[in-house]
Amino acid sequence: MSEIDLSIFIVNWNGGELLSECVASVYATVQKHSFEVFVVDNASSDRSAHELKARPNLHLIFNDYNAGFAAANNQAFARSNGRCVLMLNPDTTSLPGALDHLIDYLDTHKDVAAVGPRTVFPDGQLQPSCSHYPTLFNQSMEALGINRVLPNSKVFARPTMTYWKHDAERQVDIISGACLMIRRDALSDVGFLDERFFVYYEEVDLCLRLTQAGHLCIFVPTAQLMHEANHSTKKNLDVRIVTRYRSLLTFYDKHYPRWHGGVLRGLLSFEMLWRMALLHVAGLGTSRDGQLEQNRKRETLDRCKQVIKMCLSSANKTGAKASHIKPTQTSAAQAGSISASRK
């Protein structure tokens, strides 16, 4: 079998028409290199993966439960042969030359293990697609909303790097998993995705492990991608908060000292209490609110309580330093109501 340049993994959960548009854009824009595409469907109810048009080197994997983003990518990784691999969200559109350019960059920069493109929203506005590590300081800025108040500050806007125009090539800590291309030989050093992250922070964990192994992660603005962003989770925003913070706590327990995890749990609990206070000040239900809005506020309140309970119940479990899961070990992650293609 001749060598394949790129293996593309698309994890789908009710992606609708965006999934077919994503796959079509890949086939329309990758011109210079050979590639294969794996679509892993996590028990979608909309049959979006079933309705995909047959194409050369397009492989479909159907799970009968929502296995999670990390586990689904690992399924595709175990069956793939490309010398480079790409995690690609189903709500993305590959723009002309983007993926070819990322492959070329990896080919000409042997010290680089991972690359990501400049990402824009459908209206053309910049969508930050790289960030600094989620340290206690950075998480504090995000939890308190200071990064949103001072988006141009290099100190306070570190969580999403909004102080930077994303117009120059540079080394970064984290590249978004919405479009993250990695050299396969670098993965032989660190493994692929850790399945303890059902969804969120699995790419943060991977980028950190690559860096710890001596590899570079590079933002490449000359490659561009359009991203709908959070399409699969729009109807589950409150669930997304809980899932995101659960994965963040898992990341802290894996990589940071025990006391960092304790401080983070206190910080997240404070953030949830603040949100709950704002909800009570605004009123859970007023004459101006419809029934749907009242229900939404109550659901948000319940999710805040759930995060606080999660922080308290896991307070004595910090400090776990277990290693990553090898890519061939696909665990049966618990299904959830949130999408496994999430960013």
DSSP, collapsed to helix, strand or coil, labels residue 196 as coil
Query: Residue 135 has what DSSP assignment?
Result: -
Looking at 194, 229, 264, which one is the last position of a domain? 229
Q: Looking at the structure, tell me whether residues 91 and 224 fall in a common domain.
A: yes
Q: Looking at the structure, tell me whether residues 209 and 78 fall in a common domain.
A: yes
Q: Looking at the structure, tell me whether residues 286 and 189 fall in a common domain.
A: no
CA dihedral of residues 50, 238, 86, 46 (deg, nearest 10): 10
Q: Looking at the structure, tell me whether residues 216 and 99 fall in a common domain.
A: yes
Q: Looking at the structure, tell me whether residues 23 and 117 fall in a common domain.
A: yes
Element of type H or E holding 162: none
**Residue 246, domain member (yes or no):** no
Query: Residue 123 has what DSSP assignment?
Result: T
Query: Residue 109 has what DSSP assignment?
Result: -
Paired strand residues for 97: none
The pTM assigned to this predicted structure is: 0.88
- How far apart (Å, rounded) are the C-alpha atoms in residues 251 and 321? 10
- What is the domain extent for residue 70? 6-129+166-229
Q: Looking at the structure, tell me whether residues 125 and 264 fall in a common domain.
A: no
Nearest to 230 by CA among 275, 268, 199: 199
Q: Looking at the structure, tell me whether residues 118 and 174 fall in a common domain.
A: yes
Paired strand residues for 130: 175
DSSP, collapsed to helix, strand or coil, labels residue 275 as helix
What pLDDT does 291 receive?
A: 73
**Residue 46, domain member (yes or no):** yes
**Residue 290, domain member (yes or no):** yes
Number of domains in the chain: 2
pLDDT tens for each residue of the chain, 343 residues long: 568 999 999 999 999 999 999 999 999 999 999 999 999 999 999 999 999 999 999 999 999 999 999 999 999 999 999 999 999 999 999 999 999 999 999 999 999 999 999 999 999 999 999 999 999 999 999 888 899 999 999 999 998 899 999 999 999 999 999 999 999 999 988 999 999 999 999 999 999 999 999 999 999 999 999 999 755 444 555 678 899 999 999 999 999 999 999 999 999 999 999 989 988 887 755 555 577 777 888 888 999 999 999 999 876 554 444 444 343 333 333 333 344 455 5
- How far apart (Å, rounded) are the C-alpha atoms in residues 214 and 205? 15
**Residue 148, domain member (yes or no):** no
Are 156 and 147 a contacting pair, CB within 8 Å? yes
**Residue 294, domain member (yes or no):** yes
What are 299's two structure tokens? 């659901």
Domain CATH number, residue 202: 3.90.550.10
**Residue 154, domain member (yes or no):** no
Distances in Å between the Cα of 245 and the Cα atoms of 216, 264, 267, 338 are: 27, 10, 11, 13
Task: Identify the residue whose tokens are 């293609």.
Answer: 341
Are 220 and 115 a contacting pair, CB within 8 Å? yes
- How far apart (Å, rounded) are the C-alpha atoms in residues 57 and 94? 18
Paired strand residues for 180: 87
Are 246 and 275 a contacting pair, CB within 8 Å? no
**Residue 180, domain member (yes or no):** yes
Sign of CA dihedral 86, 89, 95, 96: positive
Dihedral-angle region of residue 283 (phi above 0 means left; psi in -120 to 50 means alpha; beta otherwise)? left
Q: What's CA 22's distance to the chain center, in Å?
A: 17
**Residue 30, domain member (yes or no):** yes
Q: Looking at the structure, tell me whether residues 105 and 21 fall in a common domain.
A: yes
Q: Looking at the structure, tell me whether residues 211 and 260 fall in a common domain.
A: no
- Which residue type does 38 have? F
- How far apart (Å, rounded) are the C-alpha atoms in residues 183 and 280? 50
Q: Looking at the structure, tell me whether residues 53 and 94 fall in a common domain.
A: yes
What pLDDT does 49 receive?
A: 97
- Which residue type does 74 have? N
Contacts of residue 236, Cβ cutoff 8 Å, sequence gap at least 6: 337, 338, 339
- How far apart (Å, rounded) are the C-alpha atoms in residues 9 and 69? 10
Query: Residue 164 has what DSSP assignment?
Result: S
